[in-house]
């Protein structure tokens, strides 16, 4: 069975979350495949209102696995907050959420660079959400990003982080006049993320492909919209 997708044809806010929640009832897997926590999907059910920025909208159906794919950039703090908020409201999704080991992580220096570059543009600012999405994708393309899999061997990450943070601090302090990012603080964050998110990290691409081969129902959850696409959108006002 082919996967089917819910996509936005405008600039986002088309009501995708509502549709995805309804379709998730019959889905074996719901997979976010792009974007980051600059997206916002709202689900309203008999339990009230739930707003998600990173977790797929299939979390309310007990037989649905929710997947964050390799094309998503993940802010671990935001993801953990959403997991905790769901648990506090009676939804433990620890057995129904997986994060691709290839998904790139939004780091504190990405957020700093996003906000500093926007401030430097002044009246010409693009109006980003300031959540580090663009800088994270830039690092992905430049092959200097940190992926979820790196948390599975967090101690080996320290030498890489040292070089990456020195490079970014040179930009932050010299070009933008900002405050440098602390290597110790970032590494402490990584160790916390490794402990809490490690059980969720998996080769989800293989899992999704196996589900499709087994004729299972896979729903792809789009984020934002076509007119925010780098190639097809209102460039440069895209994400």
Q: Is 231 helix (H, G, I), strand (E, B) or coil?
A: coil
Residue 87: give its domain's CATH number. Answer: 3.40.440.10
Question: Where residue 179 sits, what CATH number does that domain have?
Answer: 1.10.300.10
| Sheet bearing 65-68, strands edge to edge | 4-6, 218-221, 29-32, 65-68, 97-100, 201-202
Say which residue, 224 or 167, is predicted with more confidence.
Answer: 167
State the CB neighbour count (10 A cutoff) for residue 153.
9
Task: Tell whether 187 is covered by a domain.
Answer: yes
239 within some domain = no
- Asked if 15 and 96 sit in the same domain, the reply is yes
Ordered DSSP codes for 68-98:
E-TTBEE-HHHHHHHHHHHHHTT---TTSEE
Predicted confidence band of residue 122 (pLDDT cuts 50, 70, 90): confident
The torsion region of residue 17 among left (phi > 0), alpha (psi -120 to 50) and beta comes to alpha
Residue 148: inside a domain, yes or no?
yes
Q: Are 54 and 141 in a shared domain?
A: no
In this predicted model, what pLDDT tens digit does every residue of 14-66 receive, in sequence order? 667 677 777 878 899 999 988 888 777 777 777 888 888 999 988 888 899 99
Residue 110's pLDDT is 98
**Distance between CA 156 and CA 210 in Å, rounded?**
31
Q: What are phi and psi of 198, to 5 degrees?
A: -50, -45
Residue numbers annotated as active site: 13, 41
* Predicted confidence band of residue 127 (pLDDT cuts 50, 70, 90): low
- Residue whose C-alpha is closest to residue 11's, from 103, 127, 113, 140: 127
Residue 132 has pLDDT above 90, yes or no: yes
* pLDDT reading at 171 higher than 90: yes
Q: Which domain holds residue 174?
A: 104-196
Structural domain contains residue 236: no
Asked if 109 and 188 sit in the same domain, the reply is yes
Residues constituting the chain: 239
**8 or 164, which is more confident:** 164
Q: Which residues of 54-90 are buried (b: 16+ CB within 10 A; e: fewer)?
A: bbbbbbbbeebbbbbbbbbbbbbebbbebbeebeeee
Tell me how many domains the chain contains: 2
Phi/psi at 188 (nearest 5 deg)?
-60, -40
Contact 19, 233 (CB under 8 A): no
């Amino acid at each position: 069975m082919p996967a089917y997708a819910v996509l936005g044809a405008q600039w986002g806010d088309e009501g995708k979350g509502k549709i995805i929640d309804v379709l998730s009832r019959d889905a074996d897997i719901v997979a976010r495949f792009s974007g980051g926590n600059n997206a916002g999907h709202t689900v309203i059910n008999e339990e009230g209102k739930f707003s998600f920025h990173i977790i797929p909208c299939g979390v309310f159906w007990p037989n649905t696995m929710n997947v964050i794919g390799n094309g998503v950039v993940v802010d671990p703090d935001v993801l953990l907050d959403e997991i905790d908020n769901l648990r506090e409201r009676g939804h433990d999704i620890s057995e129904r959420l997986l994060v691709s080991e290839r998904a790139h992580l939004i780091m504190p220096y990405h957020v700093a660079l996003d906000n500093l570059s926007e401030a430097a543009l002044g009246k010409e600012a693009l109006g980003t959400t300031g959540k580090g999405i663009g800088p994270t994708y830039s690092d992905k393309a430049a092959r200097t990003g940190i992926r979820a899999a790196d948390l599975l061997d967090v101690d080996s990450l320290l030498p890489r982080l040292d070089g990456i943070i020195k490079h970014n601090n040179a930009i932050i302090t010299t070009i933008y006049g900002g405050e440098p990012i602390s290597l110790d603080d970032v590494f402490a964050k990584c160790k916390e993320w490794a402990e809490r998110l490690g059980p969720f990290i998996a080769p989800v691409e293989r899992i999704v492909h196996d589900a499709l081969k087994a004729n299972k129902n896979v729903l792809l959850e789009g984020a934002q919209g076509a007119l925010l696409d780098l190639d097809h959108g209102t460039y440069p006002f895209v994400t």
